[in-house]
Amino acid sequence: MILQAIRKKQPLVHSITNYVVANFQANGLLAIGASPVMADELHEVEEMVSIASALLINIGTLNERTKESMLLAGKKANTMGIPVILDPVGAGATAFRKKTVQHLLAQVKFNLIRCNVGELAAIANVRWQQKGVDSGNGSIAITDEAKKIAQQYNCIVIVTGEKDFITDGVQSQWIAGGHHQMTEITGTGCLLSAICGAALVVGNDPFTQLADTLMTYKKIAENAKMSTKYIGDFQITVLNELHRLSQEGEK
């Protein structure tokens, strides 16, 4: 089971991430036995990457300064050969985000893009009305566009939503389940991207490792919803479930 494998290996995941969800993301990684580190200063990101097992780049509250850190960290991760994950938060909301994502995709080799449908549309240049960092509204052929992006950037693409879609450009899979309440607390997508970073470290079959991660995350949402009603308790229970499943597995 993927979370148990992560707990066994205890990978260090360097996250250049946003300040809205940094705490939740750190606790979520710790819950499954991974180690988070969140350095974003230009003068140290390369050195921090050099001791990490995976790098997550999340543009949720990016600025001119951290944009440069992301670029430098990504390039260093490529020379190290460790997995690099892109979470293009709100990529379609502003030109600054869209350009940054394009620049990152041009300069850094990513192993995984983990996005929502609005962010996919932005990367695929499909007309779309993104609602801030939420997915928003529009019309897009998810499977076709995600596959195209996966082929173009030679990476895995995960588009999360009511059903998650995962593709490496050749094989693809839809994953159902979960609960919509996951979209009603901040940072569940960001945390999933971080966990995917940890998941990419444990094994030699990235597609299966990530598909397992998605299924596990759906299960966690269902479990959390079964034992809670409102989102205060729900967010805490998501952390509990990550902790529990990574220790005990699903029973």
Which residues does the annotation place in the binding site for substrate? 38, 187
Q: Please identify, using beta-carbon distances, which residue of 1 and 231 lies nearer to a second copy.
A: 231
Alpha carbon distance 1, 213 (integer Å): 9
Name the 3-class secondary structure at 16: strand
* DSSP letters spanning 1-12: -HHHHHHHH--E
Distance CA 130, CA 93 (A): 6
Task: Using the minimum distance from each CB to a second copy, give the nearer residue, 172 or 186.
Answer: 186
Nearer to a second copy, 29 or 157 (CB): 29
38 binds a second copy, rule: CB under 8 A: yes
**1 is a site residue for a second copy (CB under 8 A):** no
Cα–Cα nearest to 216, from 246, 172, 182: 246
Footprint of a second copy on residues 144-173 (CB under 8 A)? none
Query: Which residue's CB is nearer to a second copy, number 80 or number 207?
Result: 80
What is the x/- site pattern for a second copy, positions 59-98, by CB under 8 A?
-xxxxxx------------------------x--xxxxx-
Label the pairing between strands 156-160 and 164-167: antiparallel
| DSSP symbol at 33 | T
State in angstroms the smallest separation of the CB of 12 from a second copy. Answer: 5
Q: Out of 1, 79, 107, 134, which residue is the one contacting a second copy (CB under 8 A)?
A: 134
Closest CA to 200 of 166, 172, 170, 176: 166
Contact 149, 157 (CB under 8 A): yes
Helix, strand or coil, per DSSP, at residue 46: helix
Among residues 2, 3, 5, 18, the one that binds a second copy under rule CB under 8 A = 18
Rule CB under 8 A: which residues touch a second copy? 12, 14, 18-24, 26-27, 30-31, 35-44, 47-48, 51-52, 60-65, 90, 93-97, 130-134, 184-187, 229-233, 235-241, 243-244
